[in-house]
Structure 1
Amino acid sequence: MVTGRSGTSRRARWAIASLAMASLLFGALAAGLGNLHASQQVAVGLPFAFTLLAGVTYELRSRTQHRQDGAQSAALASTEIARELRTLVKYRGLPRDADPAELGVSPSSLARQQAESASLPRPAYVSRAVDQELERCLRDLAEKSDGDRPRLVLLLGPSKSGKSRAAFEAVRRVLPDRVLVMPDPHNLAARSLDRLLELVPGDTRGGIVLWLDELDRFLDAGCIDIARLARWHRQLPGLVVVATLRDDLYSRYEETRSGEARGPLSDAANLLRLATVFSFGASWGPQDWERALEAYPGLRAHGRPERGLGVELICGPDLLRRFQVAENSSPAGFAVICAAIDWRRCGVAQAIRADELRDLAGQYLWRRRRAPMTDDAFRDALGWALEPVLPGAGISLLHFADASGENYEAVDYVVAYWDGPEGHAAAPDSLVPATWELIIGALSDDACFPVGWAALRRSRREEAAAAFSRSARSASPATAIGSLYELGEIRQQDGATEAARDAFTQIVARFGESDNPDIMRQVVMALIAMGISLDLDDRPDEAISVFDETIARFGSSADLPVLAEVARAMSGRGLSLSGAGRHDEAIAALNDVVARYGSSPEPFVDEAARSLLNRGYVLLDAGQPAEAIAAFSETMARFGSSAAIMPRAFATVARMEREGLLGVGHRLRQRLFPAADAAPDGTSPLVAFLVLLTDGNEASGLARLLQDVALLEADERALFAAPPVRGVTFLTDPDREWRAANVPPDAAIVYLLSHEDALPGIVERMGGTYYIGCSGAEQFAAYTSSDSLRLFLGDEPLAFASIVMADFSEPEPPPPCLFARSEASLMAMLAGLPVLARDAADDELPFGE
Structure 2
Amino acid sequence: MPVLLVRENGRVRGWPAYVGAVGLGAAALALASLWTSGAWATGIGAAVTAFSGLAAERLQPPRGTGPGGAAGTATGTGADALLRTAAGRIPLLRQVDRPEPAGAHHADGHPADGSRTPAAPPAYIRRDVEPQLRDALRRAGFVLVVGESTAGKSRLAHETARALFPRHAFVRPLGRAALPQALRVAGKRRRAVLWLDDLEEFLGAGGLTTAMLTALSAPAPGRRLVLATMRTQEFRRFDAREESRLTGSDRDAWRTQRDVLRQAEVVRLARHWSPEERRRAAAHGQDPRIRAALRAGDRFGIAEVLAAGPELLAAWHNAWTPGGNPRGAAVVAAAVDCRRAGLRTPVSRDRLRELHRPYLLERGGGDLQPEPFDDAMNWACTAVYATSGLLIGNYTQGYTAFDYLLGAPGLPPVPEHLWQTLVTRVTPTEAYDMGLLAHQEGRPRRAAEALSRARLGGVPGADFLLAITVGDAGRPRRAAADLAGITRRREDRLGPAHPDTLAARHQLAFFTGEAGNPHAAAGRFAALAAHTAAVLGADHPDTLAARHELAYFTGEAGAPAEAARQLARLLADRLRVQGPDDPQVLATRRSLIWYRADEPARTQQQLAELLADAERCLGPGDPHTLAVRSSLAAFAARAGRTAEAAAAWESLVADRTRVMGPDHPHTIYARLEWARALASSDRPEQARTLLTRTLRDARPLLEPGHRHLRLARELLAGLPPAGPHRT
Amino acid at match of 2:423: I
Distance 2:434 2:628 in 1: 35
Shift of 1:317: 3.7
1:278-677 matches, within 5 Å, as 278-297=267-286, 298=288, 299-301=290-292, 303-305=295-297, 306-328=299-321, 329-371=324-366, 377-390=372-385, 393-401=386-394, 405=396, 407-413=398-404, 415-416=405-406, 419-422=407-410, 424=411, 428=412, 431-476=414-459, 478=460, 481=461, 483-501=462-480, 503-504=482-483, 525-526=503-504, 528-539=506-517, 575-577=522-524, 586=526, 590-591=529-530, 593-594=532-533, 597-598=536-537, 605-610=540-545, 621=559, 628=566, 631-632=569-570, 635-636=573-574, 639=577, 646-647=585-586, 658-660=596-598
Relative contact order higher in (CA < 8 Å, ≥ 6 apart): 2
Secondary structure at the counterpart of residue 194 of structure 2: strand
Instruction: Measure the CA separation in 1 of the matches of 2:230 and 2:183.
Output: 25
Deviation at 1:501, TM superposition (A): 3.6
Give the C-alpha shift of residue 473 in structure 1: 1.1
**Secondary structure at 2:343's aligned position in 1?**
coil
Shift of 1:348: 1.8
Q: Shift of residue 526 of structure 1?
A: 3.9
Deviation for aligned residue 1:160: 0.8
Contact between 1:635 and 1:649, CA under 8 Å: does it hold in 2?
no
Paired letter, 1:101: E
SS at match of 1:96: helix
1 CA distance for matches of 2:446 and 2:279?
Answer: 48
Q: Say if 1:535 and 1:576, in contact at 8 Å, map to a contact too.
A: no
Shift in CA distance, 310/577, structure 1 to aligned 2, threshold 3 Å: closer
Please state how far the C-alpha of 1:105 moved relative to its aligned partner.
0.4
What does residue 193 of structure 2 align with?
Answer: 209
* C-alpha distance in 2 between matches for 1:444 and 1:625: 46
Q: CA deviation at 1:531?
A: 3.8
Kept in 2: contact 1:484–1:506 (CA 8 A): no
Deviation at 1:434, TM superposition (A): 0.9
Q: 1:498 to 1:128 in 2, by over 3 A?
A: same
Query: Deviation at 1:213?
Result: 2.1
Match of 2:202 in 1: 218
> What per-residue deviation string (whole Å, max 9, x for no partner) do you get for residues 580-621 of structure 1?
xxxxxx47x75565456548xxxx844455566677779985
Cα RMSD of the aligned pairs, angstroms, is 4.7
Letter in 1 for 2:383: P
The Cα of 1:625 is off from its aligned counterpart by 7.5
Match of 1:263 among 235, 249, 252: 252
1:436–1:90 distance in 2 versus 1, CA, 3 Å: farther
Q: Distance in 1 between matches of 2:437 and 2:546?
A: 32
Report the TM-score when normalising by structure 2. 0.61
Which is higher, the Rg of structure 1 or of structure 2?
Answer: 1
1:161 corresponds to 2:151: yes
Structure 1, 254-263 or 636-645: larger mean CA deviation: 636-645
Paired with 1:840 and 1:372, the residues of 2 have a C-alpha distance of 44
Structure-2 separation of matches of 1:618 and 1:465? 26
What percent of counterpart residues are identical? 24
Question: Does 2:163 correspond to 1:173?
Answer: yes
CA pair 85-618 structure 1, distance change in 2 beyond 3 A: closer
Aligned in 2, Cα 1:498/1:234: closer, same or farther, shift over 3 Å? Answer: same
Unaligned stretches of 5+ residues in structure 1: 1-82, 143-150, 544-574, 579-585, 661-665, 667-809
Q: Deviations over 1:160-192 (max 9, x none)?
A: 11122112223223444444433223xx36xx6
Amino acid at match of 2:269: F
2:104 alignment partner in structure 1: 105
Per the TM alignment, residue 101 of structure 1 is displaced from its structure 2 partner at its CA by 0.9
Which of 197, 217, 235 matches 1:250? 235
Secondary structure of the 1:472 match is helix
Uncovered stretches (5+) of structure 2, i.e. residues with no partner: 1-75, 85-89, 635-665, 667-727
**Does the CA-based 8 Å contact 1:345-1:454 persist in structure 2?**
no
For the residue of structure 2 that corresponds to 1:534, the secondary structure is helix
Asked if the contact 1:161–1:311 (Cα under 8 Å) also holds between the matched residues in 2, the reply is: yes
SS state at 1:336 partner: helix
Q: Find the aligned partners of 1:209 and 1:135 in 2 and give their Cα distance.
A: 14
Deviations 1:260-300 (A, max 9, x none): 45232354456556654333333222221222232353133
- Seen in structure 2, the aligned counterparts of structure 1 residues 246 and 485 have a Cα distance that, compared at 3 Å, is same
Aligned residues: 527
Question: Alpha carbons of 1:158 and 1:638: their partners in 2 closer, same or farther (altered >3 Å)?
Answer: closer
Secondary structure in structure 2 of the residue aligned to 1:256: helix
Asked whether the 8 Å contact 1:385–1:397 carries over to 2, the reply is: yes
Q: Is the 8 A contact 1:613 1:635 kept in 2?
A: no
Residue 748 of structure 1 is matched in structure 2 by none
Report the Cα distance in structure 1 between the residues aligned to 2:453 and 2:549, rounded to whole angstroms: 37
1:346-386 C-alpha deviation (Å, 9 max, x unpaired)? 22222111211211123333343334999982222222223
Opposite residue 210 of structure 1, the aligned amino acid is L
Q: In structure 2, what is the Cα distance between the partners aligned to 1:451 and 1:626?
A: 38
Q: Which amino acid aligns with 1:128?
A: R
Residues 465 and 606 of structure 1: CA distance in aligned 2, closer, same or farther (over 3 Å): closer
Give the 3-state SS of the residue equivalent to 1:451 in structure 2: helix
SS of residue paired to 1:421: coil
- Note closer, same or farther for the CA distance 1:454–1:606 as it changes in structure 2 (3 Å cut): closer
Displacement of 1:132 in angstroms is 1.1
Q: Is the 8 A contact 2:186 2:216 kept in 1?
A: no
The answer as to whether partners of 2:320 and 2:368 remain within 8 angstroms in 1 is no
Report if aligned partners of 2:151, 2:304 keep a CA contact under 8 Å in 1: yes
Corresponding letter in the other structure for 1:420: A
Q: How far apart are residue 445 of structure 1 and its match?
A: 2.9
Aligned in 2, Cα 1:84/1:202: closer, same or farther, shift over 3 Å?
farther
> 211, 217, 220: which is aligned to 1:236?
217
CA distance in 1, matches of 2:182, 2:520: 42
The 8 Å contact of residues 327 and 371 in structure 2, kept in 1 or not, is answered as no
The amino acid of 2:127's aligned partner reads R
Closer, same or farther: CA 652–337 of 1 in aligned 2, 3 Å: closer
Residues 126 and 277 in structure 2, CA contact (< 8 A), matched pair in contact too: yes
Q: Cα gap change, 1:178/1:141 in structure 2, threshold over 3 Å: closer, same or farther?
A: same
The Cα offsets for residues 669-702 of structure 1, whole Å up to 9 and x where unpaired, read as xxxxxxxxxxxxxxxxxxxxxxxxxxxxxxxxxx
TM-score for both structures, normalised by structure 1: 0.53
Distance 2:531 2:489 in 1: 32
In the alignment, the residues of structure 2 paired with residue 453 and residue 592 of structure 1 have an alpha-carbon distance, to the nearest angstrom, of 28
Letter matched to residue 435 of structure 1: L
